[in-house]
Chains A and B, each alone.
Chain A
Amino acid sequence: MEFLTPTSLQEALEAKSAHPDAKPIMGGTDVMVELNFDHYRPATLLDLTRVPELAECDRDNGSIKLGAGVTYTRVIAELGDQLPGLAMASRTVGSPQIRNRGTVGGNLGAASPAGDSHPALLAADAEVELSSLDGVRRLPVDEFYIGVKRHAGRDDELITAVYITPPQGPQQFCKIGTRNAMVISVSAFSIALHPDRKEVGTGIGSAAPTPRRARDAEIFLAEALEADGRWESRGALPEGLAREFGDLVKAAASPIDDVRGSAAYRLHSLSVMARRSLGWAWDDYTSARKA
């Protein structure tokens, strides 16, 4: 096995180009588990922890450029105000030791349907930056996930950053698990309200082959809020609206039975989380007017 340790982004891209089969490793919270259990033995490990560009978190024209190597601990500390949905999701990742090492970039690289950051990235319309020696491209995050633990990045590309424009409205994240810490989600849901463009963002985790949006639920809710002027009035939600939203979120999922939970439980819990998180988000939106 080879162990490559680039110390700049250029070196990292050159290494990935020369070794397209190299496995990138950052916090190691997924990659090392596979190595420790001998599930997987790559010919080359590409250590990205010494690439300073990946550890940066910048403002860029109103959006946030979150370097692929920024840890969950830093997301919570540095982005909690602007990206509360992602920060909430980050707080549910593992333990302090795991959050000190794990990164959003690594979560994207693993592309597990259960990754905690995905629902919040989907709800916020995040874009994934993929870089290679041939150039840099950005992909909407919902086009990034293409299968169970598979993503749209090419073998010569590295995930270098995520761009997120902070949603103008409230954001929420919910996750069901067997305890309150150190848990892989049984199901997860995130919502973001975008009152500036009268849109709703959603993200579903652990309830389909990939993280995915609930498009019909988004459109239904945005249209219902627009139809009775509720984006402007910020009045209480009509009876049954949140429940119908929850049902549409449930309909967007296609979960399986596995060791963590049954498909039926995942569907039910998703509808409940969607209904409740809409309620919380709308409460935030209503109180923002009063404030």
Chain B
Amino acid sequence: MRITTTVNNERHEVDDVWEGESLLYMLRERMGLPGSKNACEQGECGSCTVYLDGVAACACLIAAGQAEGRDIVTVEGLAEGDDLHPVQQAFLDAGAVQCGFCTPGLIVATHDLLARDPRPEDSQIRESLAGNLCRCTGYEKIIDAVKLAAGRMASTSAGGGA
């Protein structure tokens, strides 16, 4: 079947999509967007977290056909040109990236968390990222990165930061 969808503000038409395939497969294998990672294919690891109409979800659990006409944002859509999103920059600066496989999902999940709650407590960060697994177990640095991003974004939105 043909799927027409908006991904990262660009309209895409994809042909020959199998009716049973996931949005994740369509993004990675048919649209050349490998940022969303494929690990567990059962919603356990969060590595494929994307936005579907503004709601964070595992792309592996969305049927490609369910994305028809919808608005998708992947990790590739968060940066503005060559300027990394503050969440991405914070992950680099805090050393929250080890092998990097979980990073795209964690970046999107963190982006979603900070949109809902700009200054989350540690417990809220842990709860919000509970669906994203890092098998390098770099969680402490990841939490540092979330707090670093939150601080930078708050100071920017308050007009006081650089």
Contact = CB atoms under 8 A, between A and B. Distances in A.
B63 interface: yes
B17 to A, nearest CB: 9
B68 interface: yes
Contacts of B128: 96
Interface residues of A, number: 28
Interface residues of B, number: 30
A134 interface: no
Contact of B57 (A2, A33, A97): A97
B109 A36 contact: no
Interface stretch (B4-12, B18-26, B77-85, B136-144): B18-26
Contact of A181 (B41, B68, B127): B127
Contact of A101 (B20, B44, B46, B57): B57
B58 A97 contact: yes
Contacts of B55: 100-101
Contact of A95 (B1, B22, B46): B46
Shortest 9 CB-CB contacts between residues of A and residues of B = A95-B131, A181-B130, A1-B19, A3-B19, A36-B41, A3-B65, A28-B61, A33-B42, A32-B61
Interface of B: 1, 18-22, 41-44, 46, 49, 55-58, 60-63, 65-66, 68, 109, 112, 127-128, 130-132
Interface of A: 1-3, 5, 25, 27-29, 31-33, 35-37, 41, 45, 47, 49, 94-98, 100-101, 180-182
22 contacts: A3-B1, A28-B61, A28-B66, A31-B63, A32-B43, A32-B63, A33-B41, A35-B22, A41-B20, A45-B63, A47-B65, A95-B130, A95-B132, A96-B128, A96-B130, A96-B131, A97-B46, A97-B49, A97-B56, A98-B131, A181-B127, A182-B130
